[in-house]
Chain A
Amino acid sequence: MNSVIYHICTWWLVTVSTGEGARAVPLAGHVGFDSMPDQLVNKSVNHGFCFNILCVGETGLGKSTLMDTLFNTKFEGEPTQHNQPGVTLKSNTYELQESNVRLKLTVVNTVGFGDQINKEDSYKSIVEFIDAQFEAYLQEELKIKRTLHSYHDTRIHACLYFIAPTGHSLKSLDLVTMKKLDSKVNIIPIIAKSDAISKSELAKFKIKITSELVSNGVQIYQFPTDDESVAEINSTMNSHLPFAVVGSTEEVKIGNKMVKARQYPWGTVQVENENHCDFVKLREMLIRVNMEDLREQTHTRHYELYRRCKLEEMGFKDTDPDSKPFSLQETYEAKRNEFMGELQKKEEEMRQMFVQRVKEKEAELKEAEKELHEKFDRLKKLHQDEKKKLEEKKKTLDDELNMFKQKKTAAELLQNQAQQAGGSTTLKRDKERKKNKEHMCTWILLLL
């Protein structure tokens, strides 16, 4: 593979020729770069290590006890009750030291897992927590001024999934949860409180669990077998999964030694006895052999997957159709322009919507106004009609009144005339009457 790239800058011609890959050359003596791994190790030791474990399992399966047992110390915490309304994650960080190795250990516990009646959303807070750690790392990685070297890595390196020792099969909650987590974290399933299961039941249980995991396509963490120095032990251990563990911080005297154990009337379960449980295997694999691999897998596989999905979600892509890789600059600029355009568009849309609403409302109100005017026009007309009627009636009355007046005046006139005439006539008549009366009186007297 010979590739020659020409860069022309001002008038200096620079030719960069890569050789044919890298050719192997023999060394004529001890150069000394075989100290490189030691240099690297020294730097790592000086810097300190960090490891984050997530324990997922129902309340009461001995998660905290197992952590205490694994790390030979009493971590904080009160045992939780079963009445949690939802699943919350509690994380605690501890600084441990063993010989010259400093380890920043973070233990994350799921509180309330499996306690609710409706467990559909149980896995959600766990997934969100794991994603949040990835997101924090991604944000740091994308910063312009970043300090990755001193960043406290909170990404979950190992997830111990605690399976209840029913002896039958996995619960559906277990399958659902592990399926949601297997692409985000290294899952190591363990059978908790396994001193409740007999050896024969245990074998069947393990087989059942493994087959259920396989048939449901759940990817659990496989101890790596590509490095010759650990390939053998790892592949043996892989066949013992899931580990059946017992945790205990209490010590019992066996022989003349104090060992971690659980004392029953029928015997004592020794935590570190490989015939009794797989605790030693778990410790060996998790801590002594594969801790670094778990960290590496988290970084190169799970984190990369998260990162890729996140960036693709935001619309970043690697190459354009002409198969010329976008430079970072172009990508960001394009993204930014697209982004600004989107924002502008949204703004415009909102404005338009308002203009529309205003128009509609105006039309509405105009309609209402028109109706109102029409109503009152009608009323006015009615009123006019009434008025007219009234006027007519008035007129009628006035006419009658006039007529009456006339009649009256006419009659009075007549009366006056009559009275005048008849006044004399009445006088005459009165006189006559008197005369008549007198005549009548005289008559009556004569008669007598």
Chain B
Amino acid sequence: ALIQCKTSTLNWQQRNLEGYVGFANLPNQVYRKSVKRGFEFTLMVVGESGLGKSTLINSLFLTDLYSKDYPGPSQRIKKTVQVEQSKVLVKEGGVQLTLTIVDTPGFGDAVDNSNCWQPVINYIDSKCEDFLNAESRVNRRSMPDNRVHCCLYFIAPSGHGLKPLDIEFMKRLHDKVNVIPLIAKADTLTPEECQLFKKQIMKEIQEHKIKIYEFPDTEDDEDNKLIRKIKEKMPLAVVGSNVVIEVNGKKVRGRQYPWGVAEVENGEHCDFTVLRNMLIRTHMQDLKDVTNNVHYENYRSKKLAAVTCNGVDASKTKGQLTKSPLAQMEEERRDHVMKMKKMEAEMEQVFEMKVKEKKQKLKDSEAELERRHEQMKRNLEAQYKELEEKRRVFEEEKVNWEAQQRILEQQKLDASKTMEKNKKKGKIF
């Protein structure tokens, strides 16, 4: 708990530092560390066979990724759509790059191509899943990033427009991976045809609301001008070649025709250089960042939302997406504690009330009994008193009467005595 901590609001005014502190050296420190760590990049190529995918890869990375020892997928017979990856380690200028090329032989080659994108989607998802699981472990070691950072989609140079398969594929993959559409084997199109083709393709892409990879704007105006230029050339029309030919004394990669040489790295012949510069020299990091911050986060939030909303009423889940599942459980726990407290208090209250009632009843009946007992006692006492009084009266009466009787008796006795006397006396006379 953030107790005993006072945080002031950010001081946004720029501090004027009098003298050199040295944190301007931070970028160098970052540079140094990143070189030591090395880099990794996963590039996926998708398109029908024969569009020159393997050749383009070799041209891009100036290496024989697929050679006699490691034959490319095109050399192999395949009946179904495969997703194959090859990992190579390349070094340049002290910088190490682990490059993974993911190829999709058999894509679009069958007669019925329904769902031929599914293996591709599954591959991309499984890499995201691997990363998610690695990220969610309790013990996390280094997390290798095998997620697909970029998908080059090869469009056949028909010159007309996108095929339904092209549209379908891009629609399904544009929110899972950075899609960069390319016009393959562009040396079969004249510049004018190419222009028209590009316009048509972009129109269709917009119509179908396909989100292809977008170059981010920078703060630098110069860079932005270049970026706008590149955007106007989309989709890039490329030519690849494994063969080095000598043209005007220079050794260039190109395709030799009876009518001339189509040079791969000639900006007027095709957009290969643009692609290479963009893909490798300027935007490789951005492709990785977009994959991490956008595509992977989409995958992750969908996956986790499904887990935590299992069996929970849908109306409750809307506000819960901004909480981590653990925080959610914590909250539920707290809610439950409160509920229990309330329940306990209620029960306690009811209990107390009932006890009070019962006690009161007991008290009342005790009081009642007491009262009755008192009454009876008093009654008895009154009767006693009455009796006493009666007795007293009686005794008094008795005593009086007896006294009276005694007097009378005495009188009688006296009278009879005198009579006796008188009788005696009378007799004497």
Interfacial residues, chain A to chain B (CB-CB below 8 A): 7, 9-19, 21-41, 43-46, 49, 51, 70-73, 76, 86-101, 103-104, 125, 128-129, 132, 136, 138-146, 149, 226-227, 229-230, 283-284, 287-293, 296, 304, 307-308, 311-312, 314, 316-318, 325, 327-329, 331-333, 335-336, 339, 343, 346-347, 350, 354, 357-358, 361, 365, 368-369, 372, 376, 379-380, 383, 386-387, 390, 393-394, 397, 400-401, 404, 408, 411, 415, 418, 429, 432-433, 435-436, 439, 443
Contact = CB atoms under 8 A, between A and B. Distances in A.
B274 interface: no
Contact of A33 (B2, B92, B139, B320): B92
A44 B286 CA distance: 11
A314 B306 CA distance: 21
A50 to B, nearest CB: 10
Interface string B6-27: 1110111111111111111111
B4 interface: yes
B394 A401 contact: yes
B4 A87 contact: yes
A336 B327 CA distance: 12
A274 to B, nearest CB: 15
B232 interface: no
Contacts of B425: 436
A89 B29 contact: no
Contacts of A98: 17, 20-24
Given A36-B97, A70-B21, A436 B122 contact: no
Contacts, number: 397
Contact of B22 (A227, A287, A327, A439): A287
Given A95-B14, A144-B321, A144-B325, A36 B39 contact: yes
A68 to B, nearest CB: 11
Nearest to A386: B380
A9 B122 contact: yes
B387 A397 contact: yes
B62 A27 contact: yes
Interface residues of B, number: 148
Contacts of A17: 84-85
A25 B93 contact: no
B63 interface: yes
Given A87-B4, A354-B347, A30 B92 contact: yes
For the residues of A in contact with B, the DSSP-based class is: helix
A21 B405 contact: no
Contact of B23 (A49, A146, A354): A49
A125 B34 CA distance: 36
20 contacts: A7-B122, A16-B83, A19-B70, A22-B87, A31-B90, A32-B277, A86-B4, A96-B21, A139-B326, A144-B324, A145-B301, A288-B23, A289-B25, A304-B140, A328-B136, A358-B351, A368-B362, A401-B394, A408-B401, A436-B422
B307 interface: yes
For the residues of B in contact with A, the DSSP-based class is: helix
A361 B412 CA distance: 84
A132 B373 contact: no
A31 B29 contact: no
A144 B304 contact: yes
Given A144-B304, A361-B351, A379-B373, A227 B36 contact: yes
Contact of A318 (B137, B283, B327, B380): B137
B214 interface: no
A24 B324 contact: no
Contact of B95 (A36, A99, A141, A436): A36
Given A96-B17, A436-B422, 14 more contacts: A19-B86, A22-B100, A36-B97, A39-B282, A39-B285, A44-B27, A71-B15, A90-B5, A93-B11, A100-B24, A288-B22, A346-B336, A365-B358, A436-B429
B276 A72 contact: no
A33 to B, nearest CB: 5
A347 B340 contact: yes
A346 B92 contact: no
Given A37-B34, A49-B23, A94-B15, A314 B6 contact: no
Nearest to A343: B336
Nearest to A308: B138
A38 B31 contact: yes
B165 interface: no
Contacts of A372: 362, 365-366, 369
A383 B308 contact: no
B105 to A, nearest CB: 11
Nearest to A32: B281
Given A9-B118, A14-B82, A343-B336, A144 B138 contact: no
B378 to A, nearest CB: 11
B132 A328 contact: yes
B398 interface: yes
A36 B277 CA distance: 12
A328 B325 CA distance: 11
